A and B are shown apart, each in its own frame.
Chain A
Amino acid sequence: MSEMKKATRDGFGEEIVKLGKKDNNIYVVDVDIGKSCKTGAFRKELPDQYLNVGIAEQNAAGVAAGLATCGKIPFVVTYAVFGSMRMCEMIRQEICYPKLNVKIACSHGGVTPANDGASHQSIEDMGVLRTIPNMTVIMPADYASAKKLVEKAAEFEGPVYLRFTRDAIPMIYEEDVELEIGKAHKIQEGKDVAVIANGDTVCIAMEAAKELERQGISVKLLDMHTIKPLDREAVLECIRDTGKIITVEDHNILNGLGSAVCEVAAEAGNAVVRRIGVQDQFGQSAPYHRLLEMNGITAENIVNTAKELMKN
């Protein structure tokens, strides 16, 4: 892991320009928070492929659906809390039900809009969208993987929800990292405990894994960037190899990565799962790291949880 930090929304902002230049069917549909969601370069360099429909998210979803029926590949760009819940039924009716090729690309995932407070922190979005048929739900773990997964989402035919961080997070991967939608990325192999994380918690999980290895506990670590479709095979492998799984996410522990992993584990049997994430509570205006601490989303908590699992 490098010392460098970058927000994944910046990865999106850079990649979407590259993609838009390659394919003039790629559109950005902004809702007046383009500056904050990093579409400024796209707007400047590709004005013919750029729309701004004002502060009107529901309409943005419908406009995108209409564009998609005419062969365009629109990326609706907003904050996670609006791109999932404000637009939810429009996404369901006009994008997912007819399986149109619309991407919802959202900055400000999880508690990363820390100082903005609870109204802007998005802790339910991935869970909400995970329950809609035909939707794919992704959160990249760093800048390089954000770029890669944006590219993959553009190539993929169908609705995709992409969730980025507002704040800078450590850069984990090299620029040429290979990732596939729906396939967990194995960061390291291990035999005692499996840690499955996504988004901005992957770097925290890596820190915990390092400490656990130092203490003699072997950790299998997965970046589960796609929570739907979930890589069931990767979860089953964790169960076979360790029988002990810890999930880590910057999302409510209800309905997100942890729940998705539990669904597989419960059906398979033979595994214990501990979920680390937002404790089904709203946040507040506070520093990002403090919000993580308030919910136990820390390397220390992962280490302690792993050690507790090892005792049983």
Chain B
Amino acid sequence: MKKMSVKELEKQSLELRKKVIRMIYKAQSGHPGGSLSAADMVTALYFREMKIDPSNPHWEDRDRFVLSKGHVCPIQYASLATLGYFDEGVLETLRQEGSMLQGHPDMKKCPGIDISTGSLGQGLACGVGMAIAGKKDRKDYRVFVMVGDGECQEGEIWEAAQTAHKYELDNLIVFVDNNNLQLDGITDEVMPNIHLGKKFEAFGFDMYEIDGHNMKEITDTLDRIRMTKDGKPKCIFANTIKGKGVSYMENECGWHGVAPNEEQYTQAIRELDEQIAAL
């Protein structure tokens, strides 16, 4: 697969956002806000950075992706469907009985999911285990983990971070989706994180602070990281906007886990189409 340009990735992320909105609208259930804040990074990973084969989801040498903030799986499902892991029509079954697209990612049901997640704080430790296995087996795959800023209030994240440092996991890249909102309100009010990037740095990670919606910055950072084999795990501390791309959802805590109605759905799709046209 030819690598996408920044512009193509920008377009792809908007297309994925449309799919996310449609899935959640159809299901009348799901988490749009965090899906949209993570969208650009997830796009860069699936459509440019990761070494994966949609026709062989269990390929041993593939890069792994752990969506530790599992509730934003609509953005992952949209990516997997677009890449051909399963039929795009399946996206219409999100959260429906019998669907492979569970409310939170299920590795046994959905091809392309490397680990089941959904209970916050647990994905990073799983990613650490995968990265250790890669080192032990002398494989060159890498493990990408996405955590939310609210999620980092869980202690297990920091237990896992210690382990990543101890085992010199430079094959582990953690994205922090720093959208500063969580279910009950502004993250800095619910439980101030101070500066998560600096916390990861203090735990022995190389830290890169970026604008998580600037595709060029995302891909440049991933390029730099690919070249850095220094025995240190990586943290991409990405400042993002919850609900990014849909005006009425942006920075609105209320859109954490609520589905749009018909009017809101139509407006969201129109806004995203306008952004695609403006590219």
Contacts and interface: CB of A to CB of B under 8 A. Distances in A.
A85 to B, nearest CB: 15
B214 interface: no
B266 interface: no
Nearest to A56: B159
A230 interface: no
Interface residues of A, number: 29
B133 A67 contact: yes
Given A65-B115, A90-B122, A99-B108, A70 B130 contact: yes
B94 to A, nearest CB: 19
A93 B122 contact: yes
A98 B132 CA distance: 20
Contacts of B136: 48-49
A269 interface: no
Interface string B100-128: 00000011100000111111001111111
Interface of B (DSSP majority class): helix
Given A72-B133, A98-B115, A63 B107 contact: no
Contacts of A54: 159, 162-163, 166
A175 B136 CA distance: 34
A89 interface: yes
Contacts of B114: 69
Nearest to A92: B119
A59 B125 contact: yes
Given A58-B125, A59-B125, A94-B115, A66 B156 contact: no
B137 A66 contact: no
B147 interface: no
Given A66-B128, A70-B130, A98 B107 contact: yes
A63 B163 contact: yes
Contacts, number: 106
B129 interface: yes
A97 interface: yes
A65 B126 contact: yes
Interface string A163-194: 00000000000000000000000000000000
A63 B126 contact: yes
Nearest to B130: A66
B72 interface: no
Nearest to B70: A93
Interface-centre pick from A60, A67, A69, A70 (highest chain B CB count, 10 A) = A70
B116 A94 contact: yes
Nearest to B129: A66
A48 B137 CA distance: 10
A89 B118 CA distance: 12
B124 A62 contact: yes
Contact of B115 (A51, A69, A72, A89): A69
A98 B116 CA distance: 7
Interface string A276-305: 000000000000000000000000000000
A62 B164 CA distance: 12
B155 interface: yes
B125 A62 contact: yes
Contacts of B155: 58
B203 to A, nearest CB: 13
22 contacts: A48-B136, A51-B132, A54-B159, A54-B163, A58-B155, A59-B128, A59-B159, A62-B126, A62-B128, A62-B160, A63-B126, A63-B163, A65-B129, A67-B133, A69-B115, A70-B134, A71-B133, A72-B133, A74-B129, A93-B116, A94-B125, A94-B126
Given A53-B163, A58-B156, A63-B160, 4 more contacts: A67-B132, A70-B129, A94-B116, A97-B106
Interface of A: 48-49, 51, 53-54, 56, 58-72, 74, 89-90, 93-94, 97-99
**4 tightest Cβ-Cβ pairs between the two chains A and B:** A66-B129, A62-B125, A59-B159, A70-B133
